[in-house]
Structure 1
Amino acid sequence: MRTAEDVLTQLDLGAAGTQPFHLGVGHVGVTVQAPAPLRASLMAYFAGALTQTPGEMTVHLLPGQVLTPEPEWTDWQREPGKAGRKDAIRDLAGARLIRKVRSGVTFLQAPGVAVAFGPLAENESTVINFINTQILNAGLREGWQLCHAAAVTRGPRTLAISGLSGGGKSTSILRMMDMEGMCFLSNDRVLVRAGRPPRALGIPKQPRINPGTILGNPRLRDMLTPARRAELEAMPAADLWALEDKHDLIIGEVYGADRLRFEGALTDFWVLNWEHGTDAPTQVAEVSLADRPDLLGAIMKSPGPFYQHPDGRFEPNGTAPDPAPYLEALRGVRVCEVSGRVDFDALAAEGRRLFDG
């Protein structure tokens, strides 16, 4: 297999039962061709972004289809601090195959081509991420910068929150959603672009939250059974914080369909640099990212193996993001460091002052 066409000859894009649905996020549109029951499940997940307008890009989902023989794979280098094999790639002429090592789900990415095949029904979250990747890729090719952040928006203000993995981005953003009229913009991935004012573009990625987040928010507690709540509440606080047991929170179902908005004027960016086990009060203090490369590092996010540049080059293996475009994109945004102890009540109070002031 040397080209995308070689791969496509082994796949049936018109498989029986495949039907389209359409997503619109800001100015980006994507059409997804999927069979039942996967199609119905994905439409429920993406309900807040569904539209009647076909997208410029079509994603084909082909459960159960495989390549024979298997290509020779090269492991994709993970970001610093990440361990274990996650992705593998095989570069073709003008195209790239990507394999999820643990699940065996495989993707073909090329100009105008986005195909996922293999055990898709058993790995729905992987399929969701692939669809959202097409939205991110469209923005990246237009000059937006990819941030590892969550964001909310209301009126003229949009607040993005970054931090190290497990630092409390999702919990912080959901506390902001308790404010009247606040809209959810994105979870975990935000595109930013310079402008007057700078802009933020989200993706329809629902929060995946751990039990600690659920227990700490009365609106979410019914996501767990009473028995499970009692079991978790008996755990030491440190163990509960470290517990990885992800649950999808569908924003439209919990907060209302009118509480979703995928684009806004980016005014504020907070970077969580707080810690457990300290008595220092929680502080939100303005900083200059040009003087704080450590905080900028928490914001920047590599586009990963799926990204193909406008000139046809795929993102090289092991490439780190360039700080300069981020500094330019965030010019005019008020950036703050959140330090001291982890205190979501204090952070929510700062959020109310920001949006109500």
Structure 2
Amino acid sequence: MSGISVQDVVDALKPELATRASDPVCLSVGGFVIEVRCTSPALLAELLRYFQHVITEPADPDLTIHVLSEAELPFDVEFADWAREPGKTGRKDAIADLADGRLVLKIRTGVQFLQSLAWAVAFGPTGDYPNQVINFINTQILNRFQREDWVACHAAAVRTAGKGLAISGLSGGGKSTTMLRLMEVAGTQYVTNDRLLVRRAETGTQALGIPKLPRINPGTIVTNSRLAGLIDEEREEELRNMERDELWHLEEKYDLFIDDIYGPGRISHDARITDFWVLNWSRDSHKPTAVDKVDLPERRDLLSAIMKSPGPFYQTKEGPFWTDKTPLDASAYIAALDGVQTWEITGQIDFDVLFDAGTELLGGHK
């Protein structure tokens, strides 16, 4: 553990923290109010655009997030790499544990974050990487509710008045494409694209999505007519001419603004989850796509697609931080999803079959 304290970092950043920030912006998710103070008007404009659907009237915040520009620490910090999840390669995050907090460094960009129970500060070249600031803000929401015994699922989700459907799968397994197809079902609302908080309550399994807009891959765009025009015409034509396998593995992401594509009133981050799809299908399978009920306690192997590590920013309410060796508690997920019907999707990848199944499940019509 470093001999540096959170206060040492705060004191070093005081000139930037004292810089007049733009008028604070308040966001509210699940009753949790975050105040964002950003020193860059250009970056603030991007944040306002991104979080427009959760902006609320100024209020006493539960947490203030400071977003600074090209601030640097006047002392050296010794960082250690954070281990990637199985199947992930390359260096992404590094951490330095302080006496009462943690610094997190994004290795590829140089953006740094101070995380503690009292402080949340982003600094460095933040204006060049707004998506990392967006992720940091969303991380504070995840932290807050995980401290209240919600568990985080690696899942997309949609809801209707009577149903809530979560969708998990291996990375690139099609959960975003499936979720967006189901947005065509009458009465559906978008809950989340990649992180879903759940906990068991008397009325069933409560769920809360974070205000993270879908970051979709080219395959999702070219297979959904609704998304035509999301990227420039020339690039879309290039994508349509790619081989299926090449398109599937293409590392290219685009933000999708739900209100722009589906119209207003189509987002609800609060939901009650009644059903959970686990995409265990394969592009190499020749079997028909099947949607089968399973008992999750008896199929714990499927939890690997559902469970998600809280990551390097997570600090428990007692003070200790999560480590890259801290095991996930499978029993907590089983308990949180008690009463939720789990379904396993197997066979070949066929989004039309899944759309029909989802339409029937959600009680809507095409």
| SS of alignment partner, residue 93 of structure 1 | coil
Mapping of residues 54-65 of structure 1, within 5 Å: 54=59, 55-65=61-71
The counterpart of 1:312, out of the listed 319, 335, 340, is 319
Equivalent residue number for residue 97 of structure 1: 103
The counterpart of 1:44, out of the listed 43, 49, 62, is 49
1:352 partner amino acid: T
The counterpart of 1:77, out of the listed 75, 80, 83, is 83
| SS of alignment partner, residue 18 of structure 1 | coil
1:47 partner amino acid: Q
**Superposition misfits of 4+ residues, deviation over 6 angstroms:** none
Equivalent residue number for residue 292 of structure 1: 299
| SS of alignment partner, residue 145 of structure 2 | helix
Equivalent residue number for residue 24 of structure 1: 28
Is this contact kept in 2: 1:78–1:318, CA < 8 A?
no
The counterpart of 1:141, out of the listed 142, 147, 155, is 147
Equivalent residue number for residue 128 of structure 2: 122
Equivalent residue number for residue 255 of structure 1: 262
Aligned residues: 357
Residue 9 (structure 2) pairs with residue 3 (structure 1): no
Is this contact kept in 1: 2:147–2:316, CA < 8 A?
yes
The counterpart of 1:107, out of the listed 109, 113, 116, is 113
The counterpart of 1:271, out of the listed 268, 278, 284, is 278
Q: Deviations over 1:52-72 (max 9, x none)?
A: 143311110001001122300
Moved more, 330-339 or 272-281: 272-281
Q: How far apart are the structure 1 equivalents of 2:115 and 2:239?
A: 42
Q: How far apart are the structure 1 equivalents of 2:23 and 2:6?
A: 23
Q: How far apart are the structure 1 equivalents of 2:238 and 2:244?
A: 12
Q: How far apart are the structure 1 equivalents of 2:305 and 2:284?
A: 21
| SS of alignment partner, residue 198 of structure 1 | strand
TM-score (norm 2): 0.95
TM-score (norm 1): 0.97
Is this contact kept in 1: 2:274–2:341, CA < 8 A?
yes
Is this contact kept in 2: 1:22–1:52, CA < 8 A?
yes
| SS of alignment partner, residue 38 of structure 1 | helix
| SS of alignment partner, residue 258 of structure 1 | coil
Mapping of residues 217-228 of structure 1, within 5 Å: 217-228=224-235
| SS of alignment partner, residue 12 of structure 2 | coil
Is this contact kept in 1: 2:37–2:64, CA < 8 A?
yes
Equivalent residue number for residue 241 of structure 1: 248
Moved more, 17-26 or 114-123: 17-26
The runs of 5 or more residues in structure 1 that have no matched partner are none
Residue 218 (structure 2) pairs with residue 211 (structure 1): yes
Q: How far apart are the structure 2 equivalents of 1:235 and 1:317?
A: 38
- How far did 1:125 drift? 0.7
Q: Deviations over 1:205-228 (max 9, x none)?
A: 000111110111111011122222
Root-mean-square deviation over aligned CA pairs: 1.2
Q: How far apart are the structure 2 equivalents of 1:13 and 1:288?
A: 52
